[in-house]
Structure 1
């Protein structure tokens, strides 16, 4: 499968409405679009609802539903169908008849029988019709309560029981099931595709503590239908839908929609990738003066306070003097962007997907080989004995201590080459260190010390069961902090001794390297699903 699929699947959502936009056809349309499809809607029910609850439901007459179904299918080739709320026996029968006359290539059924609260949404006759309707599906995506209703079993209390129920039902009906454990109590949650032959695909994730979960079932099913309709395998389709929804849930609260269970942010991934693809220059020409006679010349915004976009960030490792203090102040905005980027936030929170961390580590191992070369070059260029020793020892430590961290985490060596983001960063470092003044090179390598120490210190303490505790502890450890302090001292000395013009070039190099750090962290969340599947799961931690 190509990493960028050119085919745009035409996906029909058959479901009810939600005027607040979080569920039903509104959520389906957003999900289908985000997943790369063209969305179409057939309305089964006009629902007056919001984030707090449902107020009224109106079912259009059967003739209206039939007219909608035939209107779209008479004119448009449909690559996938996703059904959500059907709501009544008559509606289920109508959709069933339509499905039987022209079976879709892909049919994803979200049963919508029992709400998350446990409230039953269909009467018994309609429930029985829905159970029968599910047997026409390519795959069904019930919640835990709906899975129990499908199978006629008690509600599962754990993942193993739920998978057992799904396995038996799939074998009996020849229909696949996606078991979603988000409604169970485990911190580690999975979406598991269960095939009729007993095979399974498990896509792990981490629970997010949030109330912005309105419409998650609708959204997952619609995204899954779209990826399947585009021709992706069940593995890639479920992985993409799971990870996209994870991000959407994580950022749902930022939308500030409603007073109850808010919606997920269906478009967050699209906006993030759009921003990453912009070719806007990183720094305007006027950001840094041509001469830096004094440290205060570099600090353009002296009055940063709570009224601005973000509060001032206090460095976890204190500057070594006025010049490094000025660098920290000048880099406030980009430092904030790094600490708030999705990769770092998920890493610190422990919600980062394994494959994303594995990709990051593989690229970081390639980066560190070149970073060690840059540090060795600084040692060779230095005339001060203490500076020579520090940069040389730092180069050795990179190739031993940090490289060992990577070897301990990955199950096997990565064979993937350095990506374009990694190459851009290392090319910048080496060209800067080898082709510029010593102060400029020292400033360019500083962010890899200082910003990593800042990231490592993001938590007051690291819980022992944190999935990335070893990584965080490495960069908050005494040894790395001491190295960062020594690097700051070297940069401070170089700035003090440099000419005003060289200081200006060095400040620009520092800020450019900070931006490279942001891109380096973020790249792991910009890889296609097909590439993710090639990456090993990390060793148990």
Structure 2
């Protein structure tokens, strides 16, 4: 079977050499259709693009379906399927393949013959064998053909019912039982099996990578309360194929794809597609990152009025001026509290790599830019999270620190004080909000919700109030802009951990 990792790329028509790591993986989906776009090759192509690949599709079946179910299926002649496969393989270098709906034994054998005949990258099989209703979709001959195909591919991504069909047992009722079934299938087939916990109950919907050696790598994922999960199996396997085609190892590919799909499921309801089990939002992460990369001026630089009210602060403003400043943070507060990093802190499901990235950047900020902090009110400088700077400052960290350094260098003390306030007031308010839900067991909340940090923040609020009370209208206007700019840098500082993967 093909190995995982970067592979040599063919370049037709010119002799330019391009590093493998920056090339876009070319991914082929071999599957059926879904005219409503939530599953099949339509979902595959969306997932491939979201995961950074160029998607291609060979159609095995034309399926008349919507969010409420399948109406009819038309299977093209095997010769036409074989011609589609030959057309792709004889023209395009295929870096990875996702195989989905095959339908019948003849279709399985046609695809299997093409996979053996033509060169290609790793193959990820999503064995479409059982409907979400529990109905079997294949006859016995087709099921047996799919079982045989398992040994010819690199990764298989069955749901729990399909896993049970492959091992000819009853469906697993616990995640551990499913891993045990997958371990047996992986050992006998020599193929990596992905266990998907989405059909189980409970607060978690973890996935696991099960190797033929018996090694198991579990990928945590919190469950999302929604009915709109149409096409999640297609989407996950296509994303995994794309990341493997880009050179990721299987564990890394599953981890990336699990996080991406979790976000897509979280925002599925907002799509409002269909009256049944709707699709997931394949494009949410891409739009979120595009918004983060926008170079449009931040609105607060020319409009101070927020569109959303700020919550009542838990740390009381020291007077009318700091009360006004807090009142202007409604938009940025809402945006911060909706970030994956903060949601993860709140629920206790924050990935360890995100926590560690934030900690490293916090240390980078403090260690490398103490020149700015030294002359600003900085109640948190003496607090330690047990982190040390291990990599390098991110662009977000540098931009925030450079803003404070520049403010410290060229602005008066009123503006400097206002610019330094959000680093502590916003952080303290977030920590207190999370502690109010009695989930303050992590070092972040314990540190920034501590009495030492809170008292320092209260002193800083009082200091800024005194400075503003003696300032001119022009100084207050400049201080307000600096405060809101720092608030927005705070939002980006929290957001960056999730954008790092």
**TM-score (norm: length of structure 2):** 0.88
Alpha-carbon shift at residue 43 of structure 1 (Å): 1.4
What is the aligned length? Answer: 485
2:462 to 489, 494, 497: 489
2:319 to 318, 321, 346: 321
Q: Is the CA contact (8 Å cut-off) linking 2:310 and 2:329 kept in structure 1? A: no
Q: Which residue of 1 aligns with 2:365?
A: 367
Q: Is the CA contact (8 Å cut-off) linking 1:368 and 1:399 kept in structure 2? A: no
Alpha-carbon shift at residue 356 of structure 1 (Å): 0.9
Alpha-carbon shift at residue 476 of structure 1 (Å): 4.8
Distance, in Å, in 1 between the alignment partners of 2:62 and 2:471 is 71
Q: Is the CA contact (8 Å cut-off) linking 2:96 and 2:241 kept in structure 1? A: yes
Q: Which residue of 2 aligns with 1:462?
A: 437
Q: String of CA shifts for 1:3-55, please: whole Å, max 9, x gaps.
A: 99311121111111112211111110001111111111111222222223222
| Alignment pair present for 1:247 and 2:263 | yes
Q: Is the CA contact (8 Å cut-off) linking 2:32 and 2:60 kept in structure 1? A: yes
Alignment gaps of 5+ in structure 1: 288-299, 379-390, 529-541
1:502 to 472, 475, 479: 475
Q: Which residue of 2 aligns with 1:149?
A: 165
Q: String of CA shifts for 1:496-540, please: whole Å, max 9, x gaps.
A: 111222222211110110111011011111224xxxxxxxxxxxx
Alpha-carbon shift at residue 141 of structure 1 (Å): 0.7
RMSD: 2.7
2:107 to 91, 108, 117: 91
SS in 1 for 2:220: strand
SS in 2 for 1:5: helix
| Alignment pair present for 1:74 and 2:90 | yes
Q: Is the CA contact (8 Å cut-off) linking 2:100 and 2:234 kept in structure 1? A: yes
Alignment gaps of 5+ in structure 2: 7-18
Distance, in Å, in 2 between the alignment partners of 1:433 and 1:350 is 37
Q: Which residue of 2 aligns with 1:538?
A: none
Q: Which residue of 2 aligns with 1:348?
A: 346
For structure 1, which segment, 519-528 or 200-209, has the greater mean C-alpha deviation from structure 2 after superposition? 200-209
| Alignment pair present for 1:36 and 2:52 | yes
- Is the alpha carbon distance of 1:92 and 1:463 closer, same or farther for their aligned partners in structure 2, counting shifts above 3 Å? farther
Distance, in Å, in 2 between the alignment partners of 1:44 and 1:135 is 21
1:204 to 215, 220, 224: 220
- Is the alpha carbon distance of 1:205 and 1:493 closer, same or farther for their aligned partners in structure 2, counting shifts above 3 Å? same
SS in 1 for 2:207: strand
Alpha-carbon shift at residue 344 of structure 1 (Å): 2.3
Q: Is the CA contact (8 Å cut-off) linking 1:313 and 1:336 kept in structure 2? A: no
Q: Is the CA contact (8 Å cut-off) linking 2:372 and 2:408 kept in structure 1? A: yes
Distance, in Å, in 2 between the alignment partners of 1:436 and 1:362 is 29
SS in 2 for 1:367: helix
Q: Is the CA contact (8 Å cut-off) linking 2:34 and 2:65 kept in structure 1? A: yes
Instruction: State how 1:96-495 maps to structure 2 within 5 Å.
Output: 96-102=112-118, 104-283=120-299, 286-287=302-303, 300-301=304-305, 310=308, 313-369=311-367, 374=372, 376-378=374-376, 391=377, 395=379, 397-400=380-383, 403=384, 406-407=385-386, 413=388, 415-458=390-433, 461-464=436-439, 471-472=444-445, 474-476=447-449, 480-495=453-468
Q: String of CA shifts for 1:215-237, please: whole Å, max 9, x gaps.
A: 11111100111111222222322
Distance, in Å, in 1 between the alignment partners of 2:173 and 2:498 is 33
- Is the alpha carbon distance of 1:482 and 1:255 closer, same or farther for their aligned partners in structure 2, counting shifts above 3 Å? farther
- Is the alpha carbon distance of 1:190 and 1:520 closer, same or farther for their aligned partners in structure 2, counting shifts above 3 Å? same
SS in 1 for 2:109: helix
- Is the alpha carbon distance of 1:209 and 1:463 closer, same or farther for their aligned partners in structure 2, counting shifts above 3 Å? farther
SS in 2 for 1:75: coil
Q: Which residue of 1 aligns with 2:490?
A: 517
For structure 1, which segment, 49-58 or 269-278, has the greater mean C-alpha deviation from structure 2 after superposition? 49-58
**TM-score (norm: length of structure 1):** 0.82
For structure 1, which segment, 481-490 or 207-216, has the greater mean C-alpha deviation from structure 2 after superposition? 481-490
Q: Which residue of 1 aligns with 2:11?
A: none
Q: Is the CA contact (8 Å cut-off) linking 1:110 and 1:142 kept in structure 2? A: yes
